[in-house]
Amino acid sequence: MTYPDDNLAQVPLEIVLGLYFGDVFKQCEESGMVVPFVACAISPNGSVIALRMDGKSDAQVLAEHTEGAGFRLPMTIVVVDRKNEAAKITIDTTGKITRH
């Protein structure tokens, strides 16, 4: 899925989580990764969020820091599952999500 806005400063963090993390976690599950997931999203401006998703309830925020401009694209997300399998996901400036 693609989300075209490269400046997420005006978008509440909960919406960003719903848009990007929802798609990322779905891709991870479809590729055989096993919950719980621990994920960290890093924006080039220094904004970061780490969270845990167990597949039964909403994601739990473990840590976060948001720079004044908020989250910006491109963004990198790293997800680690119960088996210690890791996935690197990038979201480019057009909002395209790619798993590496």
In a domain, 36, yes or no: yes
pLDDT in tens, 21-71: 888 888 899 999 999 999 999 989 898 999 999 988 888 999 999 888 778
In a domain, 24, yes or no: yes
Q: What span, in angstroms and rounded, lies between the C-alpha atoms of 61 and 93?
A: 24
Number of domains composing the chain: 1
In a domain, 18, yes or no: yes
Q: What is the pLDDT of residue 8?
A: 54
Q: What span, in angstroms and rounded, lies between the C-alpha atoms of 85 and 28?
A: 10
In a domain, 79, yes or no: yes
Q: What span, in angstroms and rounded, lies between the C-alpha atoms of 85 and 66?
A: 27
Partners of residue 72 on adjacent β-strands: 7
Q: Which residue's entry shows tokens 């167990």?
A: 54
In a domain, 2, yes or no: no
Say which residue, 98 or 69, is predicted with more confidence. 98
Neighbouring C-alpha atoms within 13 Å toward the C-beta of 36? 10
Per the structure block, which two tokens stand in for 33? Answer: 């990764």
pLDDT in tens, 6-34: 555 555 655 765 678 888 888 899 999 99
pLDDT in tens, 79-89: 999 999 999 99
**Phi, psi of 14, deg, nearest 5:** -60, -35
Q: What is the pLDDT of residue 1?
A: 46
Residue 91 has pLDDT above 90, yes or no: no
In a domain, 39, yes or no: yes
Q: What is the pLDDT of residue 29?
A: 92
Domain that holds residue 44: 13-99
In a domain, 8, yes or no: no
In a domain, 90, yes or no: yes
